[in-house]
Chain A
């Protein structure tokens, strides 16, 4: 297997503030990292695909200026939710592809964001 961590696991913030979430691959170098959002009892929704040293590719309907992604190294990607509002409250999950003959995608434990 492979381990992907996220920090923080929980965050509560006031409306209008920005929140940064870190995603790290602990025991492998990730070829690609992904950011998902999941609302209660709903499906995973891919927000963006991130590669080290290049701009993230955002899915249709995801505001790139609101959800800033920085992929600083082969083991670290960050998602910043800027000017968060209550509707941004959700479960944010990152994942990372581990290099191999076939790449395998491993998920982090997720970050629960509550915007008051």
Chain B
């Protein structure tokens, strides 16, 4: 079992819909959680981080964390074709150091 698991996709949603990206992790002691977006041929870009259970909203993005279920998700509201990318979930055991990345979920938003 991988330490951080994501559905590889591709996940396809129509423009304007909500895209839901999911991530599970195996280390119950994980404390820091990150979502990155990676466009084809580019490096990852930080979208959001979340440390506490519950929801965290930033514009069209909402990160949801449930430590009891070892589950973190990213919701993208009003999806746009420009959101088409691979989304990487990263998990860290403490407040510093190395993060473990999932393999990513590829999202396609169709006009």
Interfacial residues, chain A to chain B (CB-CB below 8 A): 1, 31-32, 34, 43-44, 46, 49, 93, 95, 97, 101-110
Contacts and interface: CB of A to CB of B under 8 A. Distances in A.
B51 interface: yes
Contact of B51 (A34, A102, A110): A102
Contacts of A103: 32, 95-97
B61 interface: no
Given A32-B96, A32-B97, A97-B96, A106 B42 contact: no
A110 B42 contact: yes
A32 B98 CA distance: 8
Which DSSP category, helix, strand, loop or mixed, fits chain A's interface?
Answer: strand
A44 B44 contact: yes
Contacts of A31: 96
A49 B101 CA distance: 14
Contacts, number: 49
Given A105-B34, A108-B43, 9 more contacts: A31-B96, A32-B98, A44-B44, A93-B44, A97-B96, A102-B32, A102-B51, A105-B90, A110-B42
Interface of B: 32, 34, 36, 42-46, 49, 51, 88, 90, 95-99, 101, 103-104
14 contacts: A1-B46, A44-B101, A49-B97, A49-B98, A97-B96, A101-B95, A102-B51, A103-B97, A106-B46, A107-B36, A109-B42, A109-B43, A110-B42, A110-B43
A34, A44, A49, A110: which has the most chain B beta carbons within 10 Å? A44
Contacts of A110: 42-43
A97 B96 CA distance: 8
Contacts of B32: 102-103
